Structure 1
Amino acid sequence: MEKYKCIYPSEFPAALKHISDPPKKLYVKGNPEVLNNISVAVVGTRRPSLYGRMQAEIISDFLSKNNVTIVSGLAKGIDILAHLQAIKNNTPTIAVLGSGLENIYPQTHKRYIDEIAKNGAVITEYEPLEPPINFHFPERNRIIAALSEATVVIEAPEQSGAIITAHLAVKMGKEVFAVPSDVDRHTGKGSNKLLRDGEAHPLLSPHEILESLNIQIQMPFGDGGTQLFGSGQQQLLPHLTDKETRIYRTLSRKSAKTIDEISASTSLSAQEIMISISFMEMQNLIERYGAGFIKK
């Protein structure tokens, strides 16, 4: 793979070419063609809670398995979790930098550059040796918003790059989703405010992202094949891991079971149960009922 290439506005996707302040050029490591893919931005805090980390992984896993390219900023926290899920699934992801390609920030993420470029692209409007100057990060967010059909915000403080990206997406007429956060969690105040002010849709299931974009949803099953369903069809049970299957089978639709009761029935730890339950809630398979959980 060549080191990197430079492309100019004539080669940009239309969504980037026609924003009010398009970059004069882009340096690209990887495949420039992925800039034309159907893409969704996944952004959020650099310091996510366990819940935020799980949501980033679940949402990014779902998107990447449904042939959606994930766009983010290579930052610590939500950004890198989103990129890594795409890498894990061997699907494209686009990292938009706030520095030059020969001055990766944060340096600890330099090791992921070649993996991202293998199927996707690492891009920047800054010269190769340009350092990561503070104003570069909010500036590059317009590129993240422009390349994406929708933006998903996961646990973002009020004064954060993720909120800037969301506001830019709104101005561009793009869909914005926010994962609801605890009302007293500092890192979720910005995303909750987006919901309060009507600038974002509450994201209760990752299916809602693709449904809003009229993208056909493909759900992987245990045989490695796919089943297709739309919003008007009955949702089919997706492939579950062994732990998730054990939890699902111990639940009923008539009476709720607490974490302790599930643990006693499955011999799984509370942490293992919470991680699995979070995934199954997002898949609309189970729901909270009182102090416990039931099948839907």
Structure 2
Amino acid sequence: MNLVQGHIFELEAMKSYPKELFYSGNLELLKKTKISIVGSRKPSKYSRSLTHQLSSALSRNNICVVSGGAMGVDAIAHKGAGESNTISVLPCGVNIKYPAINKNLLSDIERNGLLLSQFKDDFRATPWSFVVRNELVVALGEVLVVAEAELNSGSMRSIEFALKMNKEIYVFAHRIGESSATNELLKSGRAKAIYDIDEFVAKFSKVQNNTQIKVDDFMDFCKTNPTYDEALKKYPTKIFEAELSGEISIENGRVRSSL
């Protein structure tokens, strides 16, 4: 367990600056331009695809993606950015990889990116610690992107934090009857819609360079429509995680990417 030393300017937006902040990984990511992405644990195919496209585009432009390490939108945002250019904020101690389904993803981020937590080692997630986690996720980003969320969902707490911090909120445009929370934000004028991903990314890309961030080789491999046996042999652990999270499906013995 490592303790973050020094002051992090972005965290001044929080109601109370963290008394302690623990980490494992690359603290240099805190110096980058950062965008926070949150959303449903069970996103639609449309939201999964756009979240992956957005986080990948941000990472290609050297912008770090911040999220909460949960299933669904969080995991897709981390994977799209590539584990070397993402920060995962945990509702538990950094030595606990929660949720278990994302254990390998969080371990990859720990080795190549950055895990952050306000909780000491061995602390296990509780309902209130998710709220603490959400505030930190929102504070770190220049803006908050809500990929998909329903009214009364956990993502509403992140939205509330963003509004209190006077952070701009961006959402994907959804059809009527879908993602009720983000549609309500648009209706009330409290959020802006992302209609063009490249245009959105360009707003935050302060320095154009040719730095190539590590891409998700596994998802690129799945897009070639390999056989299940080929995928299992090359990526024995990731294949099960991706199928459970809905990122891939198995049809007629072949792997198909859902993103």
More displaced, 16-25 or 50-59? 16-25
1:166 to 159, 163, 177: 159
Unaligned stretches of 5+ in structure 1? 225-241, 244-271, 276-296
Deviations along 1:164-193, one digit per CA (max 9) or x if unpaired, are 2223123222221000212212xx111111
CA shift in 2, pair 1:218/1:179, >3 Å: farther
- 1:208 deviates by 3.7
The question of 1:101 aligning with 2:97 is answered no
Deviations along 1:83-122, one digit per CA (max 9) or x if unpaired, are 01122xx641000011112332211211122311233201
The question of 1:196 aligning with 2:193 is answered no
Q: Which residue of 2 aligns with 1:112?
A: 105
The question of 1:29 aligning with 2:20 is answered no
Query: Does the aligned pair in 1 maintain the 2:61–2:205 contact within 8 Å?
Result: no
* SS of residue in 2 equivalent to 1:163: helix
More displaced, 163-172 or 44-53? 163-172
* SS of residue in 1 equivalent to 2:145: strand
Q: Which residue of 2 aligns with 1:85?
A: 80
CA shift in 2, pair 1:33/1:66, >3 Å: same
**For residues 56-67 of structure 1, what are the structure 2 equivalents within 5 Å?**
56-67=51-62
The question of 1:7 aligning with 2:41 is answered no
Q: Which residue of 2 aligns with 1:45?
A: 40
1:207 to 198, 219, 231: 198
CA shift in 2, pair 1:208/1:155, >3 Å: same
Deviations along 1:244-265, one digit per CA (max 9) or x if unpaired, are xxxxxxxxxxxxxxxxxxxxxx
Q: Which residue of 1 aligns with 2:11?
A: 16
- When the two structures are superposed, what TM-score results if normalisation uses the length of structure 1? 0.67
Q: Give 1:54's aligned amino acid.
A: S
Larger radius of gyration: 1
Unaligned stretches of 5+ in structure 2? 213-222, 225-255
Deviations along 1:56-95, one digit per CA (max 9) or x if unpaired, are 11111111111000000011000000101122xx641000
Q: Give 1:22's aligned amino acid.
A: Y
CA shift in 2, pair 1:124/1:76, >3 Å: same
- 1:206 deviates by 1.7
Deviations along 1:128-164, one digit per CA (max 9) or x if unpaired, are 1111101111221111111101111111111223232
* SS of residue in 1 equivalent to 2:115: strand
**d(CA) in 2 for partners of 1:114 and 1:126?**
18
Residues matched between the structures, number: 217
**For residues 254-265 of structure 1, what are the structure 2 equivalents within 5 Å?**
none
Identity of aligned residues (%): 29
CA shift in 2, pair 1:217/1:180, >3 Å: farther
